[in-house]
Amino acid sequence: MDKEAILELIKTGEGYTLEFKEGLSSTIGKEICAFANASGGKILIGVRDDGRITGHKQNNADLSFIQDIARNMDPSFSVQIEQKDDILIVHVPEGKEKPYTVHGHFYLRIGANSQQLRRDDIRSFFQQENQIFFDKKGNLDFDMDKDLNDSAYGIFIEKARLHSIDRGHLLNNLNLTTQGRMNNAGVLFFCKRVTPFFMNATVVCVLYKGAERVDIIDKKEFDSDFQANFSNAFMYVTSKLNTHFIIKGKERENRLELPEEVLREAIINAMIHRDYFSQGRVHIDIFLDRIEIYNPGRLLFDSKDLGRISIARNPIIADMAYRLGLIERVGSGINRMRALMATYGRTVKFTTESDWFRTTISREAMAVEKTREKTREKTREKTREKTREKLINLIKENQSITTGELAERTGLTSKGIEWNLAKLKKQGRIRRTGPDKGGRWEVI
């Protein structure tokens, strides 16, 4: 690689096939193993996470250290090492004898992270998926001159903040080309219409009159690029929901009956993790008492681990969604959805079947009057008070407890913990002494 290509690669940021390391350490074995089990990748040593070049000069000890790690993987593996100016580049090919382990542990590249998995999880993944990724397959029907959606490409560039990079280099660096052709992931994100390439990649939204699949009031099928289909489906769903009027003191606040973040997460998860080899479509069914969002594709790990781990069926699509800000850290969405729904007094359920995954979001059957909303608000406040009492008891047990530890002990998100702590401080029930790091809590 020449220096210009390396600099453009760094501009794209860490992702599914790119990892930055400020220095050389034993953790490089984890990254090599994860890339080998996925689609391969590059590790740039001498580059910080934010893309700033700090530099690293190789020596014989470095080369031996890296090669020994690869050779001692099970099965044995090899990598290529290249020094370009002050950056050491480790080229990791896609493994031909998956799955690989390093120091007895299995790792897989998921989004921009290398995640440790159990042996049974990763073996099951490769057996079920036959090591074939839909999104990486080159698409012979896509014509770059005729079929590229310049508007969709421009929107992506703006949202992902990837300006001033040559388009050819960018598509290649984002793993959207395979053997010189746009691959299926690139087609999904940058086509003008998806059905000429994949009849099953539309998103279908249906509004029913009651709580059964009987009387259809309205139906829409979205057939554009990935970003537009997601946005249109989300707007369609929210347009069919009720708006509540919440009285807070003398102020009146308009609020959608369901948290928008939950709806976004459920829709984008269905589009990212669906099985594109299946002829089924992503369906969003809106009933009087619930919303069901379901997609073709069985869960790739034991259902009891849902919310704890995540394995991407379509890793390039997941990486693109992450760059667009449509998803946060891989695997964090399930618990966040549950917590948000609880604040609304509603539930979200996840059902796994042999060939489908369904998310069911409960809603109210009718528009709610203000008096009923006040009753629910009182119930929610009681729940919040119980949560705050639990936080106070945990602080009494350990005055140095961190927000992360509080989140782990209560099942709340970090944001939920911070919100409740702020309420307790405002009520004068706790206070913080000392610096943010190393300080302690006091119960007043």
Quick one: 172 and 107 in the same domain? no
- The reply to whether 32 falls in a domain is yes
First to last CA, the chain: 61
313 neighbors 297 (Cβ within 8 angstroms): yes
pLDDT score of 392 more than 80: yes
* Mean pLDDT, range 151-178, rounded to an integer: 92
Q: Which of 348, 368, 388 is the last residue of a domain?
A: 368
Per DSSP, the chain holds a count of helices (H) and strands (E) of 15, 19
Question: Cβ atoms within 10 A of the Cβ of 119, count?
Answer: 12
Q: Which of 94, 122, 150 is the last residue of a domain?
A: 122
Element of type H or E holding 79: none
Integer Cα distance of 225 and 167 in angstroms: 18
Segments forming the whole domain that contains residue 106 = 3-122
Integer Cα distance of 247 and 370 in angstroms: 8
The band of 3, judged by pLDDT with boundaries at 50, 70 and 90, is confident
Quick one: 334 and 256 in the same domain? yes
- How much of the chain is helix, strand and coil, in % rounded to 5? 40, 25, 35
Distances in Å between the alpha carbon of 399 and those of 403, 411, 416, 418, 434? 11, 19, 19, 16, 12
The band of 124, judged by pLDDT with boundaries at 50, 70 and 90, is low
- The reply to whether 127 falls in a domain is no
Integer Cα distance of 244 and 246 in angstroms: 6
The model's pTM: 0.71
Integer Cα distance of 148 and 396 in angstroms: 60
**What tokens appear for 37 in the block?**
């089990």
Quick one: 99 and 207 in the same domain? no
CATH number for the domain that contains residue 71: 3.30.950.30
**What tokens appear for 379 in the block?**
């119930």
- The reply to whether 225 falls in a domain is yes
- The reply to whether 249 falls in a domain is yes
- The reply to whether 182 falls in a domain is yes
Across the chain, mean pLDDT equals 89
pLDDT score of 371 more than 80: no
pLDDT score of 145 more than 90: yes
**In terms of pLDDT, which residue wins out, 97 or 332?**
97
Which residue has tokens 């029930």?
429
Quick one: 258 and 323 in the same domain? yes
Element of type H or E holding 351: strand 348-352
Integer Cα distance of 149 and 225 in angstroms: 8
Q: Which of 101, 122, 143 is the last residue of a domain?
A: 122
Quick one: 363 and 376 in the same domain? no
Quick one: 246 and 321 in the same domain? yes
pLDDT of residue 330: 58
CATH number for the domain that contains residue 288: 3.30.565.60
Quick one: 178 and 325 in the same domain? yes
Number of domains forming the structure of the chain = 3
